[in-house]
Structure 1
Amino acid sequence: MRKPTVFVLTLFSLLLSACEKDPSLNDPGSNATINQWTLKQMQQYYYWNDKIGKTNDHQQAPDLFFKNLLFQEDHYSRILQTLNSDTYGNTLTNTFGFDMVQVQTTDQTIQLVTQVVPFSEGYLMGLQRGDSISHINNERINQGNMQLLLDKSLPLPTMQLKRNDGKLFNLPSSYISQPVLYAAKLISTSPTVGYIFLSQFDFSGAYSLLEVVQHFKSQQVQELVVDLRYNPGGQVAFAAFCALLLADIKENDIFARYQGNRNIKNREDSFAAALQGQPDGYSFSAKDILKQGLHLKRIYMLTGPNTASASEMLMNGLAPYVEVVQVGNKTYGKDMASTTLTTPQEIHGAERAWHLIPMIYKIYNKAGQGNYSNGISPQKVTDEFAFLPLVPIGDSRDPLIREALRTISNKTTGAKGFANATEKMNILTPKYMGSSYQTIPIDVSAQDKTEQ
């Protein structure tokens, strides 16, 4: 009798186990559930979905699992978790109100402050663009440790800088709202040349920019220099706002074409359509902006290695319509757009939601020009660190501004360029060691799956 009993019990156990759900694969909020959802989204939307990394470890932490899926050449896709500061990034400008680079000359390595956010603590203490910094938190900076010191300092409540003359700056950590428009002025009267410095693309600067443009119109500005050298991007709608306000374009001209994988539709946006993405509280229309605009047929753009994302998109998007004269150095090379995909309640359960930000589109202009992942090269190559000390933003002695004015002068009058007034230094390679620098993603909505 024992043998049949054992057989029946064993069979019953097998049937019972087959009917039970595996809690590790179906429990809302578990790593396995979140990771399975993540893999499905990436297979659908990710630009490089045919190059997704293979991993069978669904029990990994979701951020590690996501990173293992990424194509090795993708340096931009991210994953964040609600209220988990460990998954977010801070920058020197939004945390301590300044930024800096490391420059290698023929005989020394120096650290230079490149920008100080107006009215930040550092600004009020007297920290200035061009200041040379020797120590961070009592540790001397050398050629190999700057990034490490910045990484260690960003999470701290304060950061201490020591200037070469010995002055100390104790900067408190806080959220710093950076103004969009740092400077706007006339930098030449014959011909009349206007200058604006845009730190980022954000609608908080819309009315200030409108006011400046109205002033430029009253002064009959003939040429315009737009300084984007430290602009990491921002709102695509604000880039469209700038284009409509400054350039000789039409509202329904194509601003950008987006190319995705086989699963999602390619799309294109006009300047007017892109403007519709403006945030709540703003209701600009393309027609009204054009009425107030400058309608320039040529714009000078000042760029460098920190010119990225939507600022590159603005330059590329305007190129088929107006003459974009680029002065400075090659840009960062962010020619991708992302989308944000958030775990639904049935996936994250009682846990905090996860937000995937995968790259889903390559960006092109109306003429099909794009593929600038290695940066956009200027027609007029000029190194802002070739002449030191650095001068204030908007100062006509600045090498990039001087080169723009020289080019404008040659185009309009055929006259020789301006003489260099600042001291020249023999720079080997400017090293942009500011690890806190981050591009601001171009965020778009993912389109529906294409018909197969």
Structure 2
Amino acid sequence: MKKYFNFLLLLAVISIFILSCNRNDDEGIPRFPEGSRESVNQWVQDSMKKYYYWADQMPAKPDYRLPVKDFFKSLLSSQDRFSFAVDSKDPSSYPRSVRNMYGFDYAVIQLANGSVVTTVKLVMKNSPAFNSGLERGMIITKINGKVITAANAEELTSSIKDQTVIELSVGKWENDTVVNEKSITVYYGYSYEQPLESKIFEKNGKKTGYLYIYDFPDGMTPALNQKFAAFKAAGIQDLIIDVRYNYGGSVASAAALCSLIPSGIHSSSPFIIYKGNKNGGEVKRTFAQQISYDSNALDFNILRANALGLGKVYILTSTSTASASEIVINNLKPYMQVIQVGGVTLGKDMAGFMVEDKRNPKKISWQLHPVIYKVFNANGEGAYSNGVPPQIAAGEYASLPLLPLGDPEETLISSALNTIYSKSAGKNALDQSVKVLFQSDTPSAAIGK
């Protein structure tokens, strides 16, 4: 009997010890039923702790009862303008913009005489707007019957993102007035991948290549290689890269572009430095390594066969120049002279990747797009969160109507060409009397990449 009593006592002590250990292990870590909103939010929190650049600034005790999108936002640093989350099962959770819904963008500007006009600045090829007859340079007088003003521009932009069809009253700008007004109906729809557009300008026997790049998708290296092969065969001596509307995309494609321009680089030449949180650490990649992250990319050495070997490059920019396109500007600087023409860029000096539930079957449909790394060039230079300022300031709206991209008389292009051919950099290109009041692709109105 005594032995039996001692056995029960020992069993009780062991049980208390196990319970005590369990309580200590779980201290501060709530447990929620699988599939509940709280459990999804806990997955979000765990993922962000692992990857988020500002993980050490996240609140220690967030409110797990919040809707998932609100919970995600509650974790973000005040320095973060770009992280977002979407539910793959809910299309309404995806960021919306005039550009990704209808395929165009516009700017509301105040002219020197005080009048306010809205000009179409971008129309994507094979987009709903393009197919409806909208053109760059047109003036929009009304959206859904409402006259656009500085006061209602942002409200109108937000409202059309909640619709599937919009009515535009548009006309052409002639002699400081709108003529030939007509109505255009634009339906929400898909915009196809944008082509690279190139031109070769020649003056006094000197050739300048021009390349407009809308974005940096994976798989673009064959198209880049083809364009540069044509430039090289033509014997161009200067190059203008137009990324004024380029939100970014694949860093591998940006690295491929960079490999085609300067002289003196090799596969082992350093291209980029990624700096993450205490889990991510520091990652360095060469040109060849970064390009290879796109499984469909051409090899570095194949690209280098068509490299131009230039000592300087002209890059056209605006506040819509972001992410991978800013990396092109910053990461070419250790290897050549970069002459930036236009406006200050957006200031997305960071990179990341999508974080999602990798279990099979997947139990959580949310996808996170957090800032994971800050990016730097081969010399360790970066920290351009306030944007990269141009050497030659030029305002796209200094002269109306806006001319087609690729036209040598277009304001930013002509500013670069003036520098190349006559050394009169940016003459009359920045008209302080013209004020930009609103743009449909500002960070508050557009999707960030």
Kindly, what percent of the aligned residue pairs are identical?
A: 30
Structure 1 residue 333 and structure 2 residue 333: aligned? no
**Equivalent position to 2:212, from 180, 185, 197:** 197
Kindly indicate whether the alpha-carbon contact (under 8 Å) linking 1:116 and 1:122 is maintained by their aligned counterparts in 2: yes
Kindly indicate whether the alpha-carbon contact (under 8 Å) linking 2:419 and 2:426 is maintained by their aligned counterparts in 1: no
Render the CA deviation track for 1:397-431: whole Å, top value 9, x for unaligned.
11211111121125xxxx656987x9979313453
Render the CA deviation track for 1:99-131: whole Å, top value 9, x for unaligned.
111112241221110111123343344321111
CA separation of 1:365 and 1:210: change in aligned 2, threshold 3 A: same
Where does residue 139 of structure 2 map in the other structure?
A: 132
* Separation in 1, partners of 2:425, 2:258: 28
* Separation in 2, partners of 1:121, 1:283: 30
1:123-202 map, 5 Å: 123-164=130-171, 165-181=180-196, 183-190=197-204, 191-202=206-217
1:23-62 map, 5 Å: 25-62=31-68
Q: What secondary structure is seen at the aligned counterpart in 2 of 1:134?
A: strand
Kindly indicate whether the alpha-carbon contact (under 8 Å) linking 2:240 and 2:313 is maintained by their aligned counterparts in 1: yes
RMSD: 2.8
What are structure 1's unaligned runs of at least 5 residues? 1-14, 441-452
* Separation in 2, partners of 1:406, 1:284: 35
Kindly indicate whether the alpha-carbon contact (under 8 Å) linking 2:101 and 2:190 is maintained by their aligned counterparts in 1: yes
Where does residue 228 of structure 2 map in the other structure?
A: 213
CA separation of 1:259 and 1:169: change in aligned 2, threshold 3 A: same
* Separation in 2, partners of 1:319, 1:69: 35
Q: What secondary structure is seen at the aligned counterpart in 2 of 1:25?
A: coil
Kindly indicate whether the alpha-carbon contact (under 8 Å) linking 2:252 and 2:293 is maintained by their aligned counterparts in 1: yes
**Equivalent position to 1:294, from 289, 299, 308:** 308
**Equivalent position to 2:277, from 248, 257, 261:** 261
**Equivalent position to 2:261, from 232, 238, 246:** 246
Where does residue 63 of structure 1 map in the other structure?
A: 69
* Separation in 2, partners of 1:42, 1:112: 41
Kindly indicate whether the alpha-carbon contact (under 8 Å) linking 2:258 and 2:332 is maintained by their aligned counterparts in 1: yes
Give the aligned residue type for 1:99: D
Kindly indicate whether the alpha-carbon contact (under 8 Å) linking 1:180 and 1:204 is maintained by their aligned counterparts in 2: no
Kindly indicate whether the alpha-carbon contact (under 8 Å) linking 2:217 and 2:249 is maintained by their aligned counterparts in 1: yes
TM-score normalised by L of structure 2:
0.85
**Equivalent position to 2:247, from 212, 232, 236:** 232
- Following superposition, the deviation at residue 239 of structure 1 comes to 0.5
1:282-321 map, 5 Å: 282-321=296-335
* Separation in 2, partners of 1:200, 1:346: 33
**Equivalent position to 1:323, from 327, 337, 346:** 337
**Equivalent position to 2:398, from 372, 386, 390:** 386
Render the CA deviation track for 1:129-174: whole Å, top value 9, x for unaligned.
1111011122221112222222221232212111144311111111
Render the CA deviation track for 1:311-331: whole Å, top value 9, x for unaligned.
001111111001111011100
Where does residue 376 of structure 2 map in the other structure?
A: 364
Where does residue 110 of structure 2 map in the other structure?
A: 104
- Following superposition, the deviation at residue 36 of structure 1 comes to 1.8
CA separation of 1:44 and 1:425: change in aligned 2, threshold 3 A: closer
* Separation in 1, partners of 2:51, 2:406: 42
Bigger shift: residues 114-123 or 256-265: 114-123
Give the aligned residue type for 2:380: G
**Equivalent position to 1:277, from 293, 296, 315:** 293
Structure 1 residue 404 and structure 2 residue 419: aligned? no
**Equivalent position to 2:84, from 78, 85, 89:** 78
Give the aligned residue type for 1:402: S
Kindly indicate whether the alpha-carbon contact (under 8 Å) linking 1:387 and 1:425 is maintained by their aligned counterparts in 2: no
Kindly indicate whether the alpha-carbon contact (under 8 Å) linking 1:96 and 1:159 is maintained by their aligned counterparts in 2: no
Q: What secondary structure is seen at the aligned counterpart in 2 of 1:58?
A: coil
* Separation in 1, partners of 2:303, 2:278: 37
TM-score normalised by L of structure 1:
0.84
Bigger shift: residues 160-169 or 264-273: 160-169
- Following superposition, the deviation at residue 187 of structure 1 comes to 1.9
Where does residue 223 of structure 1 map in the other structure?
A: 238
* Separation in 2, partners of 1:320, 1:42: 33
Kindly indicate whether the alpha-carbon contact (under 8 Å) linking 2:97 and 2:441 is maintained by their aligned counterparts in 1: no
Render the CA deviation track for 1:350-387: whole Å, top value 9, x for unaligned.
xx521222112111111111000000001111111112
